Amino acid sequence: MGYIFNDKKNVVFIVFIGSLVIAEISQAWILFPYTTLSSEKVKSIDIGKTSKSSRISILIANVLMKNRNTDTLIKMIRTKNPTLFVTMEVNNWWVSKLSMFNKDYPYKVFFPTDNTYGMCLYSQLPLTDAKVLFLTNKNVPSIHCKVTLANGKTFQLLAIHPVAPKPSIHPDNMGKIENGLLKAAQLITRQQIPTLVAGDFNDVAWSYNTTQFANISKLKDVRCGRGLYNTLDANFSFFRWPLDHVFVSDEFRVINLERLPAFGSDHYPFYAQLALP
């Protein structure tokens, strides 16, 4: 044993292996809450134990503005028939291509842009107090509204797509610290009603920003106890992260979660079927 530690090469090797083991344990500790071995933060409910009037499904899709493969996404929306769907990175071209849903989704909020932060909300259910907000940046919209279910219950919805936490020149936040998630948390806590927040957070669930958002808002990540459902990058199988999220308040129950197939974007769509009994 003394010989092993007297040899500098062996010491370096042992330190290297030890560092790897510590790193692996650290990563496992971070990711464990998102495995099926962990407990679910949002309770599950069987669809047979819910009424149709209490169900709400949402599909979120970062379309990648330059993507022109609309047919696959359109087919997915038709197949899943979500109660709500949110599209991000949409410009006027994308709004035009998705206009076929205008009749089936009579309640809408549109804010297309050419800076990759455009957003549209389509709803089969009535929306009230709908507003386009700019939480931290005049070029980055969020959509805030109330949604009324067929059973008469109402919840607030916030659709967000904050810029990445690392400041960049796009859209125009060079030198600024991104705190969109913090402002989102502060916004939704003003109303003590059931709450759903969804969108491309541009950050993983265990990051400092997202953790602070969850702590302040008291919302729960529907992924916890169910799997990672990595949504980025659809183009690389070895490097994928969960960037598209659905957070809900305690009143909600999860029926089903799905990462939907790729459709030409760098993000996979994320689908959540929920109930508000």
- The tens digit of pLDDT for each residue in 103-124 reads 999 999 999 999 999 999 999 9
Q: Is the pLDDT of residue 29 over 80?
A: no
- Please give the Cα distance from 59 to 85 (Å, whole number): 5
Beta bridge partners of 122: 85, 108
Mean of pLDDT values over 204-219? 95
Write the CATH number of the domain with boundaries 41-275.
3.60.10.10
Higher pLDDT pick, 57 / 171:
57
Mean of pLDDT values over 19-23? 47
Query: Of 103, 134, 85, 246, which is closest to residue 144 (Cα–Cα)?
Result: 134
Mean of pLDDT values over 137-147? 97
At residue 187, the pLDDT reads 97
At residue 76, the pLDDT reads 98
Q: How confident is the model at residue 250 (pLDDT cuts 50, 70, 90)?
A: very high
Mean of pLDDT values over 233-239? 88
At residue 171, the pLDDT reads 56
- The tens digit of pLDDT for each residue in 158-199 reads 999 999 876 555 555 555 567 899 999 999 999 999 999 999
Q: Is the pLDDT of residue 9 over 70?
A: no
Identity (one letter) of the amino acid at 256?
A: N
C-alpha to C-alpha distances, 72 to 3, 44, 76, 231, 269, nearest whole angstrom: 63, 29, 6, 16, 11
